[in-house]
Amino acid sequence: MTAKTDATVPAEGMALLVFLSLAWGVNWPVMKIGLTEVEPLTFRTLGILAGAAGLMAIARIQGRSLAVPRSDLPPLVLAALLNVTGWQLFSGYAISMMGAGRAAIIGFTMPLWAVILGAVFLKERIDGLRLGGLALGLCGLAVLLAPDVANLARAPWGVLLMLASAFSWGAGTVIQKAVPWRLGAIQLAAWQLLIGGLAPLAGMLVAGSPSTLLTASGTAWIAIAYVCVVAMMLCNWTWFRIVEIFPPGIAAIGSLAVPVVGVFSGALMLGERIGVSEIASLALVVAGLFLVLVVPAIGRRLPRRATAQREAG
């Protein structure tokens, strides 16, 4: 699938990034709520497979074929292992070991890995605006992490697992962009969730505790429903569509708002603290997104407007 190039695409991409930032950001404290009662393998597996089933049902209702072209199969399996299996398993266990907001911050170092891997394997150009936006965004995340360095040091496995999940997702994002897929975004999302969910399913059956679902409260089941429908179904389709529209580096940088939303929603839902560092982080991330997403669009419009004025004069 190739990205559209008409003038409506940036607006679509921006709208999708806003939705993704809000929906995935809220998902972090929601997951923390669910993981307090449901074992991580079980929680993750249920969400992944329910998301896959829902997307496949939507695709069939829309009359889309779920057949996988032979040329798409090898990269589909690899992308699923990176985008779904690696990200979901590593982050699921990490969140159970540390605060949801801080886990989100470490997980969203993903743009750094996506930009580096995109430059190496896709020869994606890293211009000044993109580098500046990435630097501002990562500085914003660093501001959030700074007060909790000592606490993070006491949970090294949580930090390492979140870093592993970030690298896995970054690599998957680059593969997602590198392949000339014949499948559409909704079929890609569905199949990657299904294939990527097989390993967590096997792990759940061997070493998980599905019985924790039986004792989960109504609040935990609301969290499970949100993860299944919003985070897995809608957000995964949204992310794959964003990667179709933007280069992987820009798509990844555009997702930097997610952990900031995660921290603020964590404060509202879990009572986690908001202070000067959270406000400063939000300002830095917004500035980074402005550099990457808004400034280039303004730069493209100015020459066109000047040309139109000359022609009119």
Q: Give the chain's mean pLDDT.
A: 83
Q: What pLDDT score does 3 carry?
A: 44
- Please tell me the distance from the alpha carbon of residue 93 to that of residue 39, in angstroms, as a whole number: 9
Is the separation of the CB atoms in 88 and 43 below 8 Å? no
Is the separation of the CB atoms in 284 and 136 below 8 Å? yes
Residue 1 lies in a domain: no
Q: What pLDDT score does 1 carry?
A: 46
- Please tell me the distance from the alpha carbon of residue 52 to that of residue 169, in angstroms, as a whole number: 18
Residue 14 lies in a domain: yes
Residue 175 lies in a domain: yes
- Please tell me the distance from the alpha carbon of residue 102 to that of residue 106, in angstroms, as a whole number: 6
Say how many domains are in the chain.
1
Residue 244 lies in a domain: yes
Residues in Cβ contact with 219 at an 8 Å cutoff, skipping those fewer than 6 apart: 33
pLDDT band at residue 9 under the 50/70/90 scheme: very low
Residue 308 lies in a domain: yes
User: 221-224: long-range contacts at Cβ-Cβ below 8 A with a sequence spacing of 24 or more?
Assistant: 223/30, 223/31, 223/33, 223/34, 224/34, 224/38, 224/43, 224/46, 224/47
Question: Mind listing the pLDDT tens digit for each residue in 215-245?
Answer: 999 999 999 999 999 999 999 899 888 888 8
Range of the domain at 52: 9-312
pLDDT band at residue 285 under the 50/70/90 scheme: confident
Q: Is the dihedral of CA 291, 289, 283, 94 positive or negative?
A: negative
**Res. 300: pLDDT tops 70:** no
Residue 189 lies in a domain: yes
Residue 4 lies in a domain: no
- Interhelix angle 257-270/276-289, rounded to 10 degrees, is 150
For 180, the token pair is 């000339």
Give me the phi and psi of 8, to 5 degrees please.
-80, -15
Q: Which amino acid is at 104?
A: A
Q: Which amino acid is at 85?
A: T
Question: Mind listing the pLDDT tens digit for each residue in 30-88?
Answer: 988 998 999 988 998 999 999 999 999 999 999 999 999 999 999 999 999 999 999 88
